[in-house]
Structure 1
């Protein structure tokens, strides 16, 4: 079983960095009480991590191609562990937010090297199994985060959300030193500092704009200023990459419609599958009165389904046409979200979410492992960090875009329903409902008006949640069709013969040859 130690090493890091995206959500009320900060200020405990992770993935991945994937992964683990310690010891919100931002840097170093490390450790059917297990861990992590966070927060303290990372990081570093190897030695090339600066700035400005839009609305001038800055920086990035000898990102890849489809999958996968979870949690906790642990447990069907499909079918999926597998997975994600929208209604309770979540999990289990494998087939092995960074950047941006867009959908639909029921200040009330403030609204209302307001808030939250999942489901279905078209074999044919993962690109037609510097 020694041959699976590299897989265990990579999965430990992946599990830690992905659960830390969502594990803090359920602990925010305790953080407010202990650190004496406002809930909106501590929202940056979540956002600082997401911002640094999304902005740095591509740059860190490119640097890893130069200094070595194993070395970068170990550095990421060490930085993640140290910053987790500072998070757990934080005396105030400022220290906690800063430590979370640094934690995101460590997470980016790990996430950007996972595919390259798996590719260098396994070949053939073993590679299919490795990607399947990694996909199972990756798909289940986001849903496990709130459950583990609820257990630690309610059972011990919110600080153990971060302290628990320390022993796991030590074990993972020990495994790195004994089980991982870099088959591709460090390259003696210049770091593309211009590309790193412009892309990191563009991704950071875009992510921050989406975070701010979700909090302050799209009418905020700062949001549009950040979007404009992101566009300018992105144009600068393209100009830099077109001229530099050792580019951060090989623009030739964008001329291949199949690699564009891979990036589109990463972007829309997290939008359709995970972004709406934020608003189902709001409905469960602020309207139905469930605790954080109970709300987190509703994600178990998604986690179990994703894990079972990825781990159980990884080797089989590895030998199938990737365009068909990815398209089917996205379709299941879309249909699962639409099933949630159909089953959630005025008198619905938490069980209404479970069938749709299970179908979403099936789709996630199909897409995630093969997405990583096929993305690596477009680049030479020594540029694996670049490919992984690009795909995982798309995943993180898709989640941020999904949170912002679906937040506006939720608030707009809630506003319409509240206005139809003649609730005073319907726009402000809808914004409060979207932020999980239904119970505070009821507590501040006059006792005589409370029953009518309670009914209106229930109706608004359910209707808004339905519309949120309708949009998420539509995105999943449209993504399925778009990916099927973009990844179709040249000539419209497509043989049915299975192909190994290292030949995925060849299986769906000849690829544009990327520059190998």
Structure 2
């Protein structure tokens, strides 16, 4: 049952504290990378694995961790995940070698995987359908704030007290988040049925093979065994889908109930979030490389250049969230994807033309507008028509597809960059590489326009 507003909003604050920390960690670490590479005497491949292993352990178990919230209660699973994330952040800061840092980041990714699906599942349970857009708008503003703070804090902390503190900063925030969640987030009755074991095994192995293959493909020059891993992953995904039917008939709880995909907007919303994950994970690298390698900016200066995008999203997300409760998510989401596609094309135009880099502020503001128009409307449209008992599974699927989109985006843009750098000067290569996510945004426009308007159902409570 939804909570009264006086109880729901503090619970949302507690959840957003942890969500902020997870997103902050992804951006703040990127800025500190050159420093710990030098101080830990790490080679390029080891530095890549500091990020890759986090994404791997984050992405692989998301379907499972979403269902663990149903089985043991989202509040409990969130608290355990945050405890693991906080402890491993301390370990990261204390790491004396790059190998130890990679191991700590692997554990950190597991903690993030445990807590992330619980945030959306709880939001959709504690807020009535006609107020979820406003709540998801605050959720989106949290993402904007973390994107704004990450590069700036990363540059400031790394340049003053050392790279270790980009991890140590998580510790007090994590402790506060655990306390706040235990105080303000209510308990929910757990699901009675056990989750099907074979579904878990097939899901974890399939996602691991796919994500690992995509991450290592370019490094390994797309060797035959990489394609074999990806092929086996696709076969296992087919077997996984079949196993969901078998588990349902046997009276066991499927990991991903196929009934979720009978909900039209849930299916289309997941296509949209794949496109969004593809884009938001892949565009920062060519942008920051463009500022630093093509124009000689420092990491902190590059962070300031990206600030207009995050600041715009931060300001607009709560406003768009409230609009989501009143107007069609379909129109808002489609507009957001379209604005992002046009803004990325504008970035490309500036980057390849040789114009002053300050002109990129205009398309960056457009990207901030597009981000605000996508997150809350797409999330609200995707989850609104699910039953309360489907929220954990639905949230796990939604976050899983977003992470898979992120891995695909990083792999695709990374491959495009490396190819274009062999034939173009850097600014042009970086500019052409970001046209790949622009194409993903067109997919997002299409999926939004194909969705149905579920606003009238949310207002009547049906």
The CA RMSD measured in Å over matched residues stands at: 2.1
Count of residue pairs the alignment pairs up:
453
Structure showing greater radius of gyration is 1
Establish whether residue 101 from structure 1 lines up as the match of residue 58 from structure 2: no
Measured in 2, the distance between the counterparts of 1:196 and 1:250 equals: 13
Corresponding residue of 1:409:
416
Corresponding residue of 1:272:
279
Measured in 1, the distance between the counterparts of 2:459 and 2:140 equals: 17
Unaligned runs of 5+ in 2: 1-5
Measured in 2, the distance between the counterparts of 1:341 and 1:468 equals: 8
Structure 1 residues 350 and 88, CA, compared in 2 at 3 Å: closer, same or farther? same
Corresponding residue of 1:224:
227
Establish whether residue 464 from structure 1 lines up as the match of residue 429 from structure 2: yes
Aligned residues of 2:200 and 2:255 also touching (Cα < 8 A): yes
Measured in 1, the distance between the counterparts of 2:62 and 2:73 equals: 15
- Tell me by how many angstroms 1:270 deviates: 2.2
SS at match of 1:320: coil
Corresponding residue of 1:210:
214
- Tell me by how many angstroms 1:370 deviates: 2.4
- Tell me by how many angstroms 1:147 deviates: 2.4
- With 273-282 and 8-17 compared, the bigger mean Cα shift is at 273-282
TM-score, normalised to structure 2, is 0.92
Query: C-alpha deviations, 1:88-141, integer Å up to 9, x for none?
Result: 111111211111111111111111111121123222554332211111112443
Corresponding residue of 2:192:
188
- With 346-355 and 259-268 compared, the bigger mean Cα shift is at 346-355
Corresponding residue of 2:3:
none
Measured in 2, the distance between the counterparts of 1:305 and 1:115 equals: 23
- With 144-153 and 331-340 compared, the bigger mean Cα shift is at 144-153
Match for residue 32 of structure 1 among 37, 56, 61 = 37
Measured in 2, the distance between the counterparts of 1:477 and 1:143 equals: 26
Measured in 2, the distance between the counterparts of 1:57 and 1:3 equals: 25
Corresponding residue of 1:240:
243
Corresponding residue of 1:420:
none
Measured in 2, the distance between the counterparts of 1:265 and 1:502 equals: 23
TM-score, normalised to structure 1, is 0.83
Measured in 2, the distance between the counterparts of 1:488 and 1:352 equals: 38
Measured in 1, the distance between the counterparts of 2:88 and 2:164 equals: 13
Measured in 1, the distance between the counterparts of 2:460 and 2:149 equals: 33
Structure 1 residues 61 and 332, CA, compared in 2 at 3 Å: closer, same or farther? same
- Tell me by how many angstroms 1:474 deviates: 2.6
Mapping of residues 133-212 of structure 1, within 5 Å: 133-182=138-187, 184-212=188-216
Query: C-alpha deviations, 1:394-445, integer Å up to 9, x for none?
Result: 111111111111122222223233xxxxxxxxxxxxxxxxxxxxxxxxxxxx
- Tell me by how many angstroms 1:3 deviates: 4.9
Corresponding residue of 1:47:
52
- Tell me by how many angstroms 1:60 deviates: 0.3
- Tell me by how many angstroms 1:236 deviates: 2.1
Structure 1 residues 372 and 408, CA, compared in 2 at 3 Å: closer, same or farther? same
Runs of 4+ that moved beyond 6 A: none
Query: C-alpha deviations, 1:287-333, integer Å up to 9, x for none?
Result: 32211111122221111111112112311222221222211111111
Aligned residues of 1:138 and 1:368 also touching (Cα < 8 A): no
- Tell me by how many angstroms 1:488 deviates: 4.1
Measured in 2, the distance between the counterparts of 1:342 and 1:161 equals: 34
Corresponding residue of 1:421:
none
Match for residue 289 of structure 2 among 248, 258, 282 = 282
Measured in 2, the distance between the counterparts of 1:501 and 1:413 equals: 47
Measured in 2, the distance between the counterparts of 1:502 and 1:367 equals: 21
Query: C-alpha deviations, 1:125-162, integer Å up to 9, x for none?
Result: 54332211111112443454222222211121111111
Structure 1 residues 58 and 143, CA, compared in 2 at 3 Å: closer, same or farther? farther
Aligned residues of 1:87 and 1:96 also touching (Cα < 8 A): yes
Aligned residues of 1:276 and 1:472 also touching (Cα < 8 A): yes
